[in-house]
Structure 1
Amino acid sequence: MSATPVGPPSPSPSPSPYAAPDVKGVRLRAPVGLAIALTSLFALVIGITVYAVYADWNTRSLMQRLLADPAAVSDADLVRGERLTGLVGTIQGNALIVTGIVFIIWFHRVRTNAEVFAPGADKLARGWAIGAWFIPFANFWLPYRIAVTTWGSSTPSGADGGYRRFPLTLVNLWWGTFVLSRLLGWYGGMSYSRAESPGAVRDAVTTMLVGDVLDIAGAVLAVLFVRKLTAMQHARAAQGPVVAAV
């Protein structure tokens, strides 16, 4: 009987870049899956917000026509415009809530990973990556501060082992757009709920329209921020537990 030829041993699977040892009780966890989910959710938010821009523009046009000639706009047109604005606002709000929950989970994970990469770099405990979003007024600054520190701590080393600098331009653009769009959205929504004349409604939806356009830009920048920081952490983790634990 001829012996069955034995081939070369199959290569052992390469270890996960996130298999680093604990650093002060904290272990690296991959943020890649959450980043993929966020990319899909932000794409959905962008699509819904594009429709919100259409609804804002439709209401604004109705108010313009009503101011120019009240007889040119029927009650049915006004009811349809109001229903469209309300429906889109509800759908948009729900999509933002779901996306916000997943984003905060991802944000906490990358902040936790940053504690492994650079222990002690952020003086705030990692739980602030969640809590900072819910503190009035402080939520306009604390999440940005955490994002900046996490960005710096997640920077992978260069080929020669030296420090590589990644500018904060993307972080600054994302955060500035996010804050401005939230403020305009809040002010526009409040003005719309209190509007009692066609001119006031027109002005309110104009503010909402600008806020929605900024929402779209902010969502695009958020995707870029999420994907870039996730890629930075993946590259840093792939440099090995020795580098990751420094």
Structure 2
Amino acid sequence: MGFAASILIGVVTVMSWATAWSDWHSYQVLGHFADDERKLAQADLISGSFGIVAALALLAAAVVFIVWLWRVRWNAEMFCRGEHRFTRGWVIGSWICPVVNLWYPKWVVDDIVAASDPRTPPQTATLRQIPGTRLVWAWWLTWVVGLVLDNIAQRSVLDGAAQLSELRTNAVMSTISAVSTTAAAVLAVLLIQRVNDLQTRRPWTPWWAQDQAGHPLNGGFPPPAG
């Protein structure tokens, strides 16, 4: 699932650059062929088509990434007793709830990384106090920047901006968004590999069957309720 998410994230990156190109194409067409209705309509068709494909690619990548995230969250709860900041339902909800989706998903991933790390004792009480990694910070910041810029650019298109200066601004923002999205995509793939590697290296023994040092217990602790 992590591999599938990585592939789709790559597709999203390609489409972000294709969208940026189509925005520059629309700007150039309006600048050179403002009276040619056929060329203007063709540019609008290209821009709209790329936008639809990019949205579908983003949706597919998001679904697969969240499924992967849900699975590694399950594993993380088995590895470590530590309390996550949010219940498991927020693995999905953190992405779709307005406003809080600007930082909740990062906290979800922070706790998963902390619980997956073999250096985190299995009997850790809470994961909140474990500092986040630079990889997660870099991934999340580049993703938010790209997302915000892309939303602003798309809003200007939906508002029907037809002035040359507005199209140029839109193209510039789309390009910056593509750069940020590319950085976020590379970091997301590294993050997937990092979490998978941590969980592969951690002994597949539930926390309730280990002591604080990670040694197996003969009697074990009773499994968690539910």
Q: Same fold (TM over 0.5)?
A: yes
Per the alignment, residue 26 of structure 1 pairs with: none
Aligned length: 200
Larger Rg: 1
Out of 205-214 and 183-192, give the one that drifted further: 205-214
Per the alignment, residue 105 of structure 2 pairs with: 143
**SS of the counterpart of 2:170?**
helix
Per the alignment, residue 180 of structure 1 pairs with: 145
Q: Aligned equivalents of 2:42 and 2:56: distance in 1? A: 21
Q: Aligned equivalents of 1:135 and 1:115: distance in 2? A: 23
Per the alignment, residue 188 of structure 2 pairs with: 222
Per the alignment, residue 80 of structure 1 pairs with: 42
CA apart distance, 1:127: 1.5
Per the alignment, residue 17 of structure 2 pairs with: 50
Indicate if the aligned counterparts of 1:192 and 1:200 stay in contact, CA closer than 8 A: no
Does the alignment pair 1:120 with 2:85?
A: no
CA apart distance, 1:154: 0.8
**SS of the counterpart of 2:40?**
helix
Indicate if the aligned counterparts of 1:118 and 1:245 stay in contact, CA closer than 8 A: no
Provide closer, same or farther for how the CA distance between residues 245 and 63 of structure 1 changes in structure 2, counting only shifts above 3 A: farther
Per the alignment, residue 3 of structure 2 pairs with: 36
Kindly report which structure 2 residues correspond to 1:67-216, keeping only aligned pairs within 5 A, or say none: 70=34, 74-157=36-119, 168-194=133-159, 195-216=161-182
Counting aligned pairs with the same residue, the percent is 28
Provide closer, same or farther for how the CA distance between residues 204 and 188 of structure 1 changes in structure 2, counting only shifts above 3 A: same
Q: Aligned equivalents of 2:110 and 2:7: distance in 1? A: 24
Per the alignment, residue 221 of structure 2 pairs with: none
Q: Partner amino acid for 2:181?
A: D
**SS of the counterpart of 2:153?**
helix
Cα deviation code 1:7-51 (max 9, x no counterpart): xxxxxxxxxxxxxxxxxxxxxxxxxxx111112212222232232
The CA RMSD over aligned residues, in Å, is 2.3
**SS of the counterpart of 2:109?**
helix
Per the alignment, residue 217 of structure 2 pairs with: none
TM-score normalised per structure 1: 0.73
CA apart distance, 1:63: 4.1
Cα deviation code 1:169-212 (max 9, x no counterpart): 11111100111111111111101222142222222232222212
Q: Partner amino acid for 2:96?
A: F
Between 1 and 2, higher relative CO (CA 8 Å, sep ≥ 6) is seen in 1
Cα deviation code 1:153-178 (max 9, x no counterpart): 111249xxxxxx99711111110011
Q: Partner amino acid for 2:43?
A: G
Q: Which runs of 5+ in 1 are unaligned?
A: 1-33, 159-164
Provide closer, same or farther for how the CA distance between residues 116 and 59 of structure 1 changes in structure 2, counting only shifts above 3 A: same
Indicate if the aligned counterparts of 1:188 and 1:208 stay in contact, CA closer than 8 A: yes
Q: Partner amino acid for 2:113?
A: W
Per the alignment, residue 233 of structure 1 pairs with: 199
